Amino acid sequence: MKKRNTGLDLLKILCMLMILFMHFTSRETLQSNYNISTVNYLIVRFIDSFACVAVNCYFLITGYFLVDKPLKLNKVFKIWKTVLFYTVTIWIVEIVLFNKGITLHNTIKSMFPIITEHYWFITVYIAMLFLAPILKVFLVNMSKKQYQYLLIILTIILTIIGNIYPRSVVFNDITGINFITMLYVYIIGGYIKLHCSQVKTQKSKYLLGYIICGIITFIYSIITNSLASKNMIYQVYARKDMAYNSIWVVISSIMIFMYFKELKINSNLIQKIVNTIHPLSLTVYIIHENIFLKGLTLNAYQYQQSLMYILYILLCLVAIYIVCCTIEYIRVKLCKIIFKNKKVSKTEKIIEEKLNNILRIEL
C-alpha cells in the first residue's frame, strides 16, 4: 500500500478550519448588533487573506492525486451517501423538534442535495470526480510545454483579466465560486503531479511565497474596501479582493499546497492523529453549511469591541470542528456495525469497472 502524504492530509484539516473561520466571521456581519472594532476588523481581514486559499487547496489536492487515476465511483457514492444522510437527518430533526421553516424548496434541497447545489463545493467536487478520467486522457498525454501553454492561457483569461477588469463576464466570475475556476485549479494540481514531482525546492521558500501573497491580498483588500466605501464604482474591485480566481489567491494556494506537499511528518503519533481526523473533516462543512444551520452565528458581538473577539471565535470554531468530527466518527462506526452486507459495494465495483472500460481511451 502506498504511503499517504500526511502533509497534505494535515493541509485538509487546516483548510477546513480556515473555511469555518471565513464562514462564521461572515455570518457575524449579518447580525443587527454587529459593530466590530477597527482592530478586530483588521485582524479578521488579515486572517481571511491567508484563509481564502482553503477551497483552492482542496481542488489542488484533488487534481494532484486524480490526474492519472481511473474513475473512483466508490468515492462518489461514499460522498453522496454521507451528504444525503446529513441533509435528510437534519431535515427530520428540524420537523420533529422545531416544526417550522420547512418548505417545498428546502425539502427538495435536502432530498436531492447534489443536483440542487445544497453545497456548491460538493456539487462541483462530484462533477470533477466524474470528469477526471476524461481529463486524464488529455492531461497525461500532453507534453510538458503543451501543458504549460494550457495553464498560461487559462491563467490569463480566468485570473489576470479578472484582476485587471473585474467587470468582465465572458471568462470571469467575480468571486470564482464556480466549476470553471475549480477545474482550472484542478488542472494546476495535475501539472504539479505530472511535471513538478522531481523539482526540489526548499519548502521554506514556498511558505515565504504564501506569506507574501497573503500580505498582498490583505493590502489589496483594505485599499479596495476603503475606496468602495467612498465610491460605489470600486465595489466590484472590493469583491475581487479574496476571490478564488484572484491571481494572488491562486499563487498563494499553490505556495501553501507545495509547502505541505513537501512537509515531512516523522512522528507516528501525529501521523495517526492526522490520518484519523482528516477523513472526518468534510462532515464539518456538510453540517455547518446545511441550509437549516447556516444562519446560526456564534453571537460574538458581546466581545466585538474587545481583543477577546478573535479568541472567542477561534475557540468556538475548534469546538465546532471537534463536535462535527465526533458525530461523523460515531456515524461511521455505527454504519460498519449495522451494514455488514457488502452487496452494494460489489454492485458499485461492477459499475465502476464497466465505466472505466468505457473511459479507457488512448491517444
What would the pLDDT profile of 145-157 be if each residue is shown by its tens digit?
Answer: 999 999 999 999 9
Residue 180 lies in a domain: yes
Nearest partner of 155 among 204, 130, 191, judged by Cα: 191
337 or 25, higher pLDDT: 25
Query: pLDDT tens-digit profile of 193-228?
Result: 999 877 677 889 999 999 999 999 999 999 998 988
The arithmetic mean of pLDDT across residues 307-324, rounded, is 95
Q: How confident is the model at residue 1 (pLDDT cuts 50, 70, 90)?
A: very low
CA–CA separation, 21 vs 49, rounded Å? Answer: 11
pLDDT at 259: 95
Query: pLDDT tens-digit profile of 74-90?
Result: 888 889 999 999 999 99
Q: Which residue has the cell 469583491?
A: 239
Q: Provide the mean pLDDT of the chain.
A: 89
Q: How confident is the model at residue 19 (pLDDT cuts 50, 70, 90)?
A: very high
In the predicted structure, residue 271 carries a pLDDT above the cut 50: yes
Cell matching residue 350? 461492477
In the predicted structure, residue 363 carries a pLDDT above the cut 50: no
Provide, rounded to the nearest whole percent, the portion of the chain with pLDDT above 90: 61
pLDDT at 358: 65
CA–CA separation, 246 vs 55, rounded Å? Answer: 13
pLDDT at 52: 95
In the predicted structure, residue 283 carries a pLDDT above the cut 50: yes
pLDDT at 292: 92
The number of distinct structural domains making up the chain is 1
In the predicted structure, residue 98 carries a pLDDT above the cut 90: no
Cell matching residue 169? 463576464
CA–CA separation, 256 vs 207, rounded Å? Answer: 6
pLDDT at 281: 93
Given a contact cutoff of 8 angstroms between Cβ atoms, the answer to whether 18 and 287 are in contact is no
Q: How confident is the model at residue 27 (pLDDT cuts 50, 70, 90)?
A: very high
CA–CA separation, 260 vs 258, rounded Å? Answer: 6
Instruction: Write out the DSSP string of 108-173.
Output: HHHHSTTTTTSSHHHHHHHHHHHHHHHHHHHHHHS-HHHHHHHHHHHHIIIIIHHHH-TT--SS--
The arithmetic mean of pLDDT across residues 123-133, rounded, is 91
CA–CA separation, 278 vs 6, rounded Å? Answer: 10
Residue 281: domain span: 6-358
Residue spans of alpha helices (H) in the chain:
6-28, 38-51, 54-66, 73-93, 104-111, 120-141, 144-155, 161-164, 179-195, 203-230, 235-238, 247-262, 268-277, 281-288, 308-338, 343-358
CB atoms closer than 10 angstroms to residue 202? 9
CB atoms closer than 10 angstroms to residue 22? 18
Longest Cα–Cα distance in the chain: 64
Residue 1 lies in a domain: no
Query: pLDDT tens-digit profile of 226-268?
Result: 988 888 888 888 888 899 999 999 999 999 999 999 998 888 8
Residue 59 lies in a domain: yes
pLDDT at 171: 73
Query: pLDDT tens-digit profile of 148-191?
Result: 999 999 999 999 988 888 777 777 777 888 899 999 999 999 99
In the predicted structure, residue 68 carries a pLDDT above the cut 70: yes
- Cα separations in angstroms, 290 against 23, 106, 180: 12, 10, 24
pLDDT at 342: 55
The arithmetic mean of pLDDT across residues 277-305, rounded, is 92
Quick one: CA torsion of 87, 121, 61, 336, rounded to 10 degrees?
Answer: 10
pTM: 0.91
In the predicted structure, residue 347 carries a pLDDT above the cut 70: no
